[in-house]
């Protein structure tokens, strides 16, 4: 086996192996190390670099590739090769005889055994030399518990980091080309998933100029019907062969799950999502089926802090291979694929609804909110658990909505969008909210054609809220107006009446932003009248009254009605400190602090205390847009009172938060800070 050229990164892994080899030999123990990882990740390259560092301290090196194809070598064939290299006086005809001679020949020597592509722990054990001063290095595409049972040391080899991926791709390319096409080369490395074999193949294509320069190659890769088919060397489908080999070794159920994981829109997924892709009678065995894929290193298990469900990852190129299989009629019937997609979307809907019920008690129209799904958690840490779950799935949520939309599951699309509101808003993911609710609006428009206007009402309302959050006031007002018009047409439905009341609150907030305070007061009063209507849902009345107090207090203060504003703010704080909606608790405290800060005088100390308390709450539950506003309010108050050191620090913090949220207020605040020096 020759040492690979070039060799990029892997210093930590190499140091680990060399250090453990030294420790084992010093202790008089035989070290056995198995490099594990997906096909093409560079296990062999790393092993051979370690061999290069170790070879001089051994009497003899025995190396062989067991192989994973039909031409794979048996243990007996390998023993024949090893005995010849050891200069054994005879090679017995039987397997047992060969092992006896092999052990005798290795008992008196320090041997470095190097085996590529081991398939089982039993095979490796049969090839272990007899001396304790020997070391065995092996690679395997499998992650076997038997390796652990035998006491072998597993070395996990992962894909390259982003910078190292580009370094491998550009090795020995013309420096002028690299400088001119750096963006294209980064994009190519990303398409390769920073997988060393894929990068090496593409680098060879660039050096031979088979597909022109980086821009031409990138265009070809992006437009390829099958990306894997582009990783070809001299007409051989190098990368595809690696994954086909692993796939053919799977059982039928494992093959089915492998293929259907290609339907998942993200490379990372929870166990329950994988189970949803299986047929109903197979879902109970999902953990074992997933472990079979982990064992074959087709997926890997990953961790997510604060999340109870097991999570897995499938490399982007492996997922493309799976996606290519699931789309082939000989593997999956189109009706089965559609059923699996729908099952996946339904599983995500149940998941999101269960967490939304924890985050907020606000009114929802989706049928799963009507007692069908229970809140995922209860207790003091329920909010943080629900947020952690949704945060771990954030990258998938938008994609699931898009997938359901493309598949035409309109009744699921608007429900998913509705159920995601609180998470997206509490985390300040407004671009996601606009995208998701745009899908929801299109789906609700289709549902409306069959007579149900309530989903359309809800989507207009939520889109208006999202546009309001990013200060696109004209678009926000347009959606609020359309929601109000629909609500008026729907008549006396209590749920619709509640939504109409909310629309006037939001219209009032738009007017406040535009400094149209009288119009804002009028909108809030209109909302209050609707909340007091006997037809308004009784279970929601008190909460909506307190929300009006919370949102209306700063507006009342802006028109000089300070006493009313303070009373309203106090009522809101008293209510929401007992409510499960912790974001509204934080907002009510911040709004009362804002009112008292504006009132000044004797109210100033309590204003500061409330704003500090709100800031702690906002940090604790992770609502960065609220935190930014409170930082700005508290910083402005402290500056006004002469505490400019802390005041400026808070304003800088607010500006950074606004900028992270792509909020236009960041630019205005930066300008203020620059003016003040």
Question: So what's the pLDDT on residue 511?
Answer: 93
Backbone φ, ψ for residue 601 (5° rounding): 55, -130
Question: So what's the pLDDT on residue 5?
Answer: 64
The token pair at 637 is 């108050």
Backbone φ, ψ for residue 301 (5° rounding): -85, 135
Sheet of 135-140, strands arranged across: 60-65, 111-116, 135-140, 31-36, 153-156
Domains in the chain, number: 4
Q: Identify whether 368 is part of a domain.
A: no
Domain match, 16 and 124 both? yes
Question: So what's the pLDDT on residue 70?
Answer: 46
Decide if pLDDT at 173 tops 50: yes
The token pair at 640 is 């006004």
- Alpha-carbon span 237 to 201, nearest angstrom: 10
Backbone φ, ψ for residue 253 (5° rounding): -65, -40
Domain match, 54 and 203 both? no
Q: Identify whether 394 is part of a domain.
A: no
Domain match, 167 and 141 both? no
* Crossing angle of helices 473-490 and 494-513, rounded to 10°: 160
- Alpha-carbon span 519 to 521, nearest angstrom: 5
User: Bridge-partner residues for 115, per DSSP?
Assistant: 64, 138
Domain match, 261 and 135 both? no
Q: DSSP string covering 199-221, please?
A: HHHHHHHHHHTTT-SHHHHHHHH
Strand residues in 111-209 grouped as ranges (E): 111-116, 135-140, 153-156
Q: Identify whether 388 is part of a domain.
A: no
Region of 371 on the Ramachandran plot (φ > 0 left; ψ -120 to 50 alpha; else beta) = left
- Alpha-carbon span 609 to 631, nearest angstrom: 13
- Residue 233's SS3 state is strand
* pLDDT tens-digit readout, 245-274: 889 989 999 999 999 999 999 999 999 999
- Alpha-carbon span 339 to 329, nearest angstrom: 15
CA dist list (Å): 637 to 515, 594, 672 = 21, 9, 15
CB 577 within 8 A of CB 614: no
- Alpha-carbon span 262 to 285, nearest angstrom: 19
Nearest partner of 272 among 255, 290, 259, 254, judged by Cα: 290
Cβ count within 10 A of residue 631: 26
- Alpha-carbon span 661 to 621, nearest angstrom: 17
Domain match, 215 and 70 both? no
Domain match, 98 and 203 both? no
Confidence of residue 1 (pLDDT cuts 50, 70, 90): low
Decide if pLDDT at 610 tops 70: yes
Percent of the chain with pLDDT over 90: 67
Domain match, 227 and 263 both? no
Question: So what's the pLDDT on residue 71?
Answer: 61
- Which of 182, 207, 240 is the endpoint of a domain? 240
Q: 409-437 burial by CB neighbour count: b if 16+ within 10 A, else e?
A: bbbbbbbbbbbbbbbbbbbbbbebbbbbb
- Which of 303, 332, 361 is the endpoint of a domain? 332
What value does the mean pLDDT take over residues 547-569? Answer: 94
Q: Is 193 exposed, middle or buried (0-12, 13-18, 19+ CB in 10 A)?
A: buried
Query: How many CA atoms lie less than 13 Å away from 102 in the CB half-sphere?
Result: 25
Domain match, 98 and 236 both? no
Mean pLDDT of the chain: 91
Domain match, 57 and 171 both? no
Q: Identify whether 428 is part of a domain.
A: no
- Which of 174, 208, 240 is the endpoint of a domain? 240
- Alpha-carbon span 480 to 260, nearest angstrom: 41
The token pair at 256 is 């089915």
* pLDDT tens-digit readout, 4-26: 667 788 888 899 999 999 999 99
Radius of gyration for the chain, computed over Cα atoms and rounded to the nearest angstrom: 32
* pLDDT tens-digit readout, 39-76: 899 999 999 999 999 999 999 999 998 875 446 788 99
Question: So what's the pLDDT on residue 229?
Answer: 84
633: CB partners within 8 A, 6+ apart: 590, 593, 594, 597, 611
**Structural element, H or E, at residue 44:** helix 43-54
Cβ count within 10 A of residue 305: 7
- Alpha-carbon span 551 to 355, nearest angstrom: 25
- Alpha-carbon span 304 to 310, nearest angstrom: 8
Question: So what's the pLDDT on residue 8?
Answer: 82
Question: So what's the pLDDT on residue 493?
Answer: 79
CB 339 within 8 A of CB 305: no
Q: 588-597 burial by CB neighbour count: b if 16+ within 10 A, else e?
A: bbbbbbbbbb
Region of 5 on the Ramachandran plot (φ > 0 left; ψ -120 to 50 alpha; else beta) = beta
Q: Can you give the CATH number for the domain in which 502 is found?
A: 1.25.40.10
CB 456 within 8 A of CB 415: no
Is the peptide bond between 6 and the residue preceding it cis, with omega within 30 degrees of 0? yes
Confidence of residue 210 (pLDDT cuts 50, 70, 90): low
Q: Can you give the CATH number for the domain in which 299 is found?
A: 1.10.10.10
- Alpha-carbon span 637 to 594, nearest angstrom: 9
What value does the mean pLDDT take over residues 177-190? Answer: 90
What does the DSSP 8-state code read for residue 453? -
What does the DSSP 8-state code read for residue 474? H
Decide if pLDDT at 539 tops 90: no
Dihedral of alpha carbons 191, 196, 201, 204, sign: positive
Domain match, 78 and 202 both? no
Domain match, 131 and 176 both? no
Classify strands 268-270 and 311-313 as parallel, antiparallel or unpaired.
Answer: antiparallel
User: Which of the two residues, 455 and 362, has the higher pLDDT score?
Assistant: 455
Start-to-end CA span in the chain (Å): 65
Domain match, 322 and 276 both? yes
* pLDDT tens-digit readout, 219-240: 999 998 888 888 887 767 678 8
CB 265 within 8 A of CB 399: yes
Q: Identify whether 300 is part of a domain.
A: yes
Find tokens 């038997």 and name the residue: 146
Q: Identify whether 597 is part of a domain.
A: yes
Q: Identify whether 621 is part of a domain.
A: yes
* pLDDT tens-digit readout, 403-442: 999 999 999 999 999 999 999 988 889 999 999 999 999 9
CA angle 80, 81, 87 (to 5 degrees): 90
Nearest partner of 63 among 133, 7, 114, 111, judged by Cα: 114
Confidence of residue 349 (pLDDT cuts 50, 70, 90): very high
Question: So what's the pLDDT on residue 476?
Answer: 94
Domain that holds residue 260: 250-332
The token pair at 483 is 């929601």
Backbone φ, ψ for residue 222 (5° rounding): -65, -30
- Residue 237's SS3 state is coil
CB 278 within 8 A of CB 263: no
Q: Identify whether 536 is part of a domain.
A: yes
Sheet of 268-270, strands arranged across: 268-270, 311-313, 300-302
Find tokens 């060399």 and name the residue: 18
Decide if pLDDT at 288 tops 50: yes
Cα-to-chain-centroid distance, residue 349: 17
- Residue 39's SS3 state is coil
**Structural element, H or E, at residue 35:** strand 31-36
* Crossing angle of helices 494-513 and 454-469, rounded to 10°: 20
């Amino acid at each position: 086996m020759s040492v690979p050229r070039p060799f990029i990164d892997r210093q930590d892994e190499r140091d680990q192996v060399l250090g453990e080899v030294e420790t084992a030999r010093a202790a008089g123990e035989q070290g056995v190390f198995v490099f594990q990882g997906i096909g093409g990740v560079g296990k062999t390259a790393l092993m051979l670099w370690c061999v290069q560092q170790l070879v001089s301290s051994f009497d003899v090196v025995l190396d062989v590739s067991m192989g994973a194809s039909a031409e794979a070598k048996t243990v007996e064939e390998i023993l024949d090769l090893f005995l010849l290299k050891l200069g054994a006086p005879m090679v017995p005809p039987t397997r047992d005889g060969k092992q006896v001679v092999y052990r005798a020949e290795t008992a008196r020597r320090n041997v470095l055994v190097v085996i590529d592509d081991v398939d089982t722990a039993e095979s490796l054990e049969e090839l272990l030399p007899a001396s304790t001063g020997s070391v065995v290095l092996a690679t395997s595409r499998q992650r076997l518990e038997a390796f652990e049972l035998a006491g072998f040391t597993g070395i996990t080899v992962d894909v390259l980091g982003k910078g190292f991926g580009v370094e491998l791709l550009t090795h020995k390319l013309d420096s002028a080309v690299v400088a001119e096409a750096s963006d294209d080369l980064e994009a190519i490395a990303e398409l390769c998933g920073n997988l060393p074999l894929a990068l090496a193949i593409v680098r060879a294509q660039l050096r031979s100029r088979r597909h022109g320069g980086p821009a031409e190659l990138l265009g070809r890769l992006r437009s390829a019907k099958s990306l894997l088919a582009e990783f070809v060397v001299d007409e051989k489908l190098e990368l595809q062969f690696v994954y086909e080999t692993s796939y053919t070794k799977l059982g039928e159920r494992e093959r089915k799950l492998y293929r259907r994981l290609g339907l998942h829109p993200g490379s990372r997924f929870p166990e329950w999502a994988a189970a949803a892709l299986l047929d109903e009678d197979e879902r109970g065995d999902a953990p074992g089926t997933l472990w079979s894929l982990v064992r074959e290193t087709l997926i890997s298990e990953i961790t997510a802090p604060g999340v109870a469900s097991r999570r897995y990852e499938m490399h982007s190129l492996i997922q493309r291979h799976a996606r290519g299989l699931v789309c082939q009629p000989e593997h999956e019937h189109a009706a089965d694929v559609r059923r699996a997609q729908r099952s996946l979307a339904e599983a995500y809907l149940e998941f999101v609804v269960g967490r939304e019920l924890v985050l907020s008690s606000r009114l929802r129209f989706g049928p799963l909110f009507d007692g069908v799904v229970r809140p995922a958690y209860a207790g003091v840490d329920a909010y943080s658990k629900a947020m952690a779950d949704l945060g771990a799935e954030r990258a998938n949520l938008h994609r699931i909505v898009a997938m359901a939309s493309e598949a035409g599951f309109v009744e699921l699309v608007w429900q998913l969008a509705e159920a995601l509101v609180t998470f997206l808003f509490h985390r300040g993911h407004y671009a996601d909210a606009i995208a998701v609710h745009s899908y929801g609006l299109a789906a609700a428009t289709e549902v409306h054609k069959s007579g149900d206007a309530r989903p359309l009402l809800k989507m207009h309302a939520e889109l208006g809220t999202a546009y309001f959050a990013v200060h696109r006031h004209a678009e926000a007002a347009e959606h609020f107006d359309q929601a109000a018009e629909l609500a008026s047409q729907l008549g006396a439905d209590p749920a619709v009446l509640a939504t109409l009341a909310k629309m006037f609150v939001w219209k009032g907030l738009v007017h406040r932003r535009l400094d149209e305070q009288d119009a804002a007061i009028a909108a809030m009063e209109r909302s209050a009248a609707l909340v007091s209507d006997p037809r308004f849902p009784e279970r929601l009345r008190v909460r909506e009254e307190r929300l009006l107090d919370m949102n209306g207090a700063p507006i009342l203060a802006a028109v000089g009605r300070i006493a009313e504003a303070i009373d309203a703010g106090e009522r809101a704080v008293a209510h929401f400190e007992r409510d499960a909606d912790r974001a509204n608790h934080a907002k009510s405290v911040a709004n009362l602090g804002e009112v008292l800060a504006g009132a000044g005088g004797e109210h100033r100390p309590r204003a500061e205390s409330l704003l500090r308390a709100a800031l702690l709450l906002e940090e604790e539950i992770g609502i960065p847009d609220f935190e930014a506003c409170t930082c700005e309010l508290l910083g402005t108050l402290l500056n006004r009172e002469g505490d400019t050191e802390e005041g400026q620090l808070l304003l800088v913090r607010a500006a950074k938060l606004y900028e992270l949220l792509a909020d236009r207020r960041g630019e205005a605040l930066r300008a203020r800070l620059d003016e003040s020096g």
